[in-house]
Amino acid sequence: MPHRAHLFSLRLAHAFREACIDQPYNSRRFLRDLMAGVTVGIIAIPLAMALAIASGVAPQYGLYTAFIAGFIIALTGGSRFSVSGPTAAFVVILYPIAQSYGLGGLLLATLMSGVLLIVMALMRLGRFIEYIPESVTLGFTGGIAVVIATLQVKDFFGLSVESMPEHYWDKLAVLAQNLPALDSMSALVAVVTLVVMLLWPRLKTPVPPHLPAVIIGSLLAAWLNANGAAVDTIGSRFSYLLPGGGVGAGIPPFLPEFSWPWQQADVNGNPLGFSWSMVRELLPAAFAIAMLGAIESLLCAVVLDGMTGKRHSANSELMGQGLGNIIVPFFGGITATAAIARSAANYRAGAESPVAAMIHALVVLLALVSLAGVLAYLPMPAMASLLIMVAWNMSEAPKAVHLLKTAPRSDVLVFLTCFSLTVALDMVIAITTGVLLAAVLFMREMAEMTKVTDITTGKRVSDENLPSGWKVFKINGPLFFAAADRIFGELAELSRNVDGFILYMDGVTVLDAGGLSALNKLVATCQNNGTRIVIADLQSQPQRTLARGGLGPVDGVLQFTSSLREALALPLSSIAPQSSSPSEPNSVHIGPN
């Protein structure tokens, strides 16, 4: 399929059809998908648990997300190599929802975000995500990384903090107050885990660093606990109800059951309940989840396109993401989107099609039902170290530093604004402000690029017989609302004492409604002053704008030519200027061109 066909296409299971149905799918390709899926599945198990904990819910809900949403999105989406599940980017949105509304509120917000993603796909909004500037993306991902790392300080040092405040600066104050009471054994496990993750890549093995790091951290924690320490683990922190009564430690070794999201517990442990007032309260959060999910999943798809040379279908990917997030809350799963690190690992492990991501989901499912007892020994400090490393990777700090050093001031301002607002206030406010600020600064720069120049004495004009009292002005740049008033105001001043002038507009590619209005004012002013205008060499878009606006030739005032040469060949000296009454400054002819 040609690249352009992917821009606005919407086809359910686009990537699966393209990779497995539209072209032969044989046993060799399946074996490559199998190896990649197993590899990524093993990577995803501790990550899914850690990200669920960071989001404010029990670790099994991260596993539910990875294998249910991960399978559905891979099957129905539009990106061939994307692997979906819980991601670090959502932590700053999901954690406050979980703290305020409990698991039930989080699942209901996820369901609502899935519906919004479907709407975005049906409206073919997939490619509009590309209009978000890199300075905005780096700003909010860097801010998210700082917030995630801050939230891990509690478990990294084994601090006894019952609950974290809502605002970032209050979080820092609480952590600082409790830091003197850190648990040295927990800190030791966290540091060892982090050091292993940092040093492991030097061995240049295919094994991802967080797996040996978590295993070594778990063994160290088990040894310390056996010798009288109290390092917190998944089993000591979390519990579940057994089917026959009683309580089990860690995560339940059985599949989730179907349940309405609003029947899950609120922050007080009671069923959340469904009401339109609750929907209205959660709608801003759901919109934030949908926007971030769209941005993350499509950025991941773009990155994979660059790695693989393939092309994703943006709207089909949004459709898959929406379906996954609609279905997964009914089985206890939290918000899912494509994860860049896991998706890149999937491709590097040899994936051929979305089947690899489906196998990854089945590996997570297998781990849930067969390894739940082992997973209960994972220490919380090791999980905190894992998330700090995830935060560092998602921050793209080297790229952010490069932007600060080399980018224009406007991009630096947008980055710093978006970063600061994400940390201090809210990611939705940060993205909205960042995009608006970037747009305004871009318009200012574009407006400053638009210039008007007197080329009367230029070689191209002076070789012609331009009559006395006439000038030639050239406009370069877009004539949109931010530039048009200034440019045509300058022209009005420059043409004050002339009989007429040629307006050479071959360098004007855009003329919007604001530019048309300013041009009308200039024509009215020239008509009032008895000055004639000849507009030469209009490009196609300005021509269409003038035709739609009904601005055509006006006898004795305004004339159009197809080129500057044709304008200069007109009998300009024989054209008598016409003055109109000062009481009729707006008597410009507006009619069919």
The predicted structure's pLDDT at residue 128: 73
Q: Please give the average per-residue pLDDT across 302-314, as a whole number.
A: 81
Query: Regarding predicted confidence, which is higher, 180 or 110?
Result: 110
Q: Are strands 470-476 and 558-561 parallel, antiparallel or unpaired?
A: unpaired
Q: Is 245 helix (H, G, I), strand (E, B) or coil?
A: coil
Element (H, E) at 560: strand 558-561
Residue 118 confidence (pLDDT) above 90: yes
pLDDT at 463: 61
pLDDT tens by residue, 322-346: 999 999 999 999 999 998 888 888 8
CA proximity to 345, closest of 357, 363, 358, 361: 357
Q: Find out whether 374 and 426 touch, Cβ atoms under 8 Å.
A: no
Looking at residue 389, its pLDDT comes to 87
- Condensed to tens digits (0 to 9), the pLDDT of residues 545-577 reads 888 888 888 777 888 888 888 888 787 765 544
Position 542 pLDDT exceeds 70? yes
Tell me 467's DSSP state.
P
- The answer to whether the CB of 152 falls within 8 A of the CB of 54 is yes
CA dihedral of 503, 505, 508, 510, whole degrees rounded to 10 = 80
- Is the C-alpha dihedral spanning 223, 229, 232, 237 positive or negative? positive
Q: Are strands 84-85 and 337-338 parallel, antiparallel or unpaired?
A: antiparallel
Confidence of residue 8 (pLDDT cuts 50, 70, 90): low
Q: How far apart are CA 478 and CA 512, in angstroms?
A: 9
Chain segment 365-418, per-residue pLDDT in tens: 999 988 888 888 889 899 889 888 888 888 888 888 888 888 888 888 888 888
What integer pLDDT is reported at residue 253 of this predicted model?
87
SS3 511: strand
Q: 464 falls in which pLDDT band (50, 70, 90)?
A: low
| Tokens standing for residue 531 | 């000055």
pLDDT band at 194 (very low <50, low <70, confident <90, very high): very high
Query: Nearest 5°: CA angle at 435, between 407 and 133?
Result: 45
The pLDDT value given to residue 321: 94
Question: What pLDDT is recorded for position 219?
Answer: 93
Q: Is residue 359's pLDDT more than 90?
A: yes
Judge whether residue 449 has pLDDT over 90. Answer: no
For 551: left if phi > 0, alpha if psi spans -120 to 50, otherwise beta; the answer is beta
Instruction: Report whether pLDDT(75) > 90.
Output: yes
* 571 and 500 Cβ atoms separated by less than 8 Å: no
Position 130 scores a pLDDT of 66
pLDDT at residue 591 greater than cutoff 70: no
User: What does each C-alpha distance from 449 to 282, 475, 484, 504 come to in angstroms?
Assistant: 44, 10, 12, 17
Q: Could you count the other beta carbons within 10 Å of the beta carbon of residue 436?
A: 12
Distance CA 206, CA 193 (A): 18
What are the residue ranges of helices labelled H in 123-183? 134-156, 168-178
Question: In the structure, what pLDDT confidence band is assigned to residue 583 with cuts at 50, 70 and 90?
Answer: very low
Q: Are 337 and 144 in contact (CB under 8 A)?
A: no
